[in-house]
Chains A and B, each alone.
Chain A
Amino acid sequence: MLVLGVQAVSVRWFFPEVIPHSLTLQPLRSTVTDPNVASSFVTGLCLSLAVTSVAIVLAWPAARTLAGVGRGLGAAVVGVLFLPSLLPAVGLAMGVDVMLIRLGLAGTFVGVLLAHLVPTLPYVVAVLTAAFARRDQRIEAQAATLGAGPLQRLRLVTVPSMRGALMVGAALGFVVSWSQYTMTLLAGSGRVVTLTMVLFAALSGGSPSTVAVLSLLVALPAGALLAAAGRMSGDPS
């Protein structure tokens, strides 16, 4: 990654120089101001934020239920959720694409969003379920006896007490969605273009420094987010 960082700020860095003779922000500037890059960055950002929000909303009730059900049902549901992770990624993306074509959603934002939920949701559900299972569910009963209605309990008790898990789950969900390549490529039918796809196109034909800048643009937000989430979730010991 460091090598990429150096490559991003250098031009004409030829063999065998270990350290480039001059550094410049020129490739960074030209790449960032490229309208294709900017628009795909924004598309990807909106997409991953939307996927994350939908994933949290869908995963919340599921996690709440899963934290309370017996082992048998819980294991079955978790099995179904992680089934896509055990399938070859290319085959899964192809199958999902065919489904989206059938639903008339291929090449649309909503279609790609649905496709991204398949690999994203399991992780978000897993994080939230673990957090729900760890906490004392009687805290809501306590709040109710103090006069808090269902919405007040959610807003004043449940959500604040789940804040850590929500942030970790959101970070993980964002990263999984942000990293998708094959899924976006097929479900988006070339009409929904994210930064990862611009990077892939640049691999054949782009200058090394452009590739490096794009790589960093793709990697840094996600990597930093996950590193931060990892710190927050803490050590299991």
Chain B
Amino acid sequence: MTLRLDRIRHQFADADHLLLDDISFILEQGEITCVVGPSGVGKSTLLHIIAGLVLPDGGSVMLDDIALDKVPTHRRPFTLLMQQPQLFAHLDVVDNVAFGLRVRGVGRKDRRESARAWLELVGIAHLEKRAVVNLSGGEQQRVALARALAAEPRVLLADEPFASVDASARHELQTLLLELHSTLGTTILLVTHDDTEARRLAHRMLEMHTGGPVESTLLSRQSRTAPV
């Protein structure tokens, strides 16, 4: 599987210059790639374009050399982890995690069983029956992570997923993500403005710049900082 961005251009209706100008890159399979750059540079928009939530003005998202231009969000094999956990308040923890399986028509018993296994993996199996509003920020983001992975995405898109929790929870979540990645080998594209986070998680960094038309640079392979 190869995910490739081909000359993506995008501009917002109320902006006077192009936000994304001619962005191209190939996402390496099985790696964690971190997108870094100052805020307002279009990092989130880039993820939204890959997820199909925003249609670019020009260029294409290519999956195995097939353009996804006409494929709506829910048919794209990616899941998106947002900055806020965006849990479904009317569902309990286990049904939140099972959501992606439910919409694919998996039966109640099977999807719950699978969801429990994912909760086990993210370390909150004991919370399965809880209402999501009663969870801490870190716990909520774990549920969101389990939910995103349970849908078995070919790429996990993550938009500053740990920015809304406090420092200690953030460190735990980063460790969890690294552990999950070493077990599952999921391809991850993660947006962050936090350089330390990027250096800790990324196999590869993608740096975006501001100032007039945006240029993108693919940096060389970096050795990750040793796990703490």
Contacts and interface: CB of A to CB of B under 8 A. Distances in A.
- A and B interact: yes
Interface stretch (A17-25, A43-51, A135-143): A135-143
Interface stretch (A52-60, A109-117, A155-163): A155-163
Contact of B89 (A143, A152, A156, A161): A161
Contacts of A163: 90
Nearest to B101: A147
Contact of A145 (B78, B88, B102): B78
A138 B82 contact: yes
Nearest to B79: A145
A190 interface: no
B100 interface: yes
B99 A148 contact: yes
Interface string B64-93: 000000001111101110101010111100
A144 interface: yes
A206 interface: no
B151 A161 contact: no
Given A139-B88, A146-B148, A147-B74, A152 B103 contact: yes
Contacts of B142: none
B90 A146 contact: no
B99 to A, nearest CB: 6
B201 interface: no
A93 B76 CA distance: 53
A13 to B, nearest CB: 51
Nearest to A161: B90
A201 B12 CA distance: 63
B180 interface: no
Given A145-B51, A156-B103, A138 B86 contact: yes
Interface size class of A (residues with CB under 8 A): 20 to 34
Interface string A149-178: 110110011001101000000000000000
A37 B89 CA distance: 45
B82 A147 contact: no
Contacts of B53: 141, 144-145
A147 B103 contact: yes
Contacts of A150: 74
Contacts of A142: 80, 82, 86
A146 B89 contact: no
Contacts of A144: 51-53, 72-74
B104 interface: yes
A136 B148 CA distance: 19
Contacts of B82: 138, 142
Contact of B103 (A136, A139, A141, A146): A146
B147 interface: yes
A138 B79 CA distance: 14
Contact of B80 (A139, A145, A161): A145
Contacts of A153: 74
A136 B86 CA distance: 8
A152 B100 CA distance: 11
A160 B103 contact: no
A141 B73 contact: yes
Tell which of A136, A138, A142, A157 has the most Cβ of chain B within 10 Å: A142
B187 to A, nearest CB: 15
B73 A156 contact: no
Contacts of A161: 88-90
A146 B84 contact: no
7 contacts: A144-B53, A144-B73, A145-B73, A145-B74, A146-B74, A148-B103, A161-B89
Given A139-B86, A156-B88, A156-B103, 20 more contacts: A136-B84, A138-B84, A141-B51, A141-B53, A142-B86, A143-B103, A144-B51, A144-B72, A145-B51, A145-B78, A145-B80, A145-B157, A146-B147, A146-B148, A147-B75, A147-B79, A148-B74, A153-B74, A156-B99, A161-B89
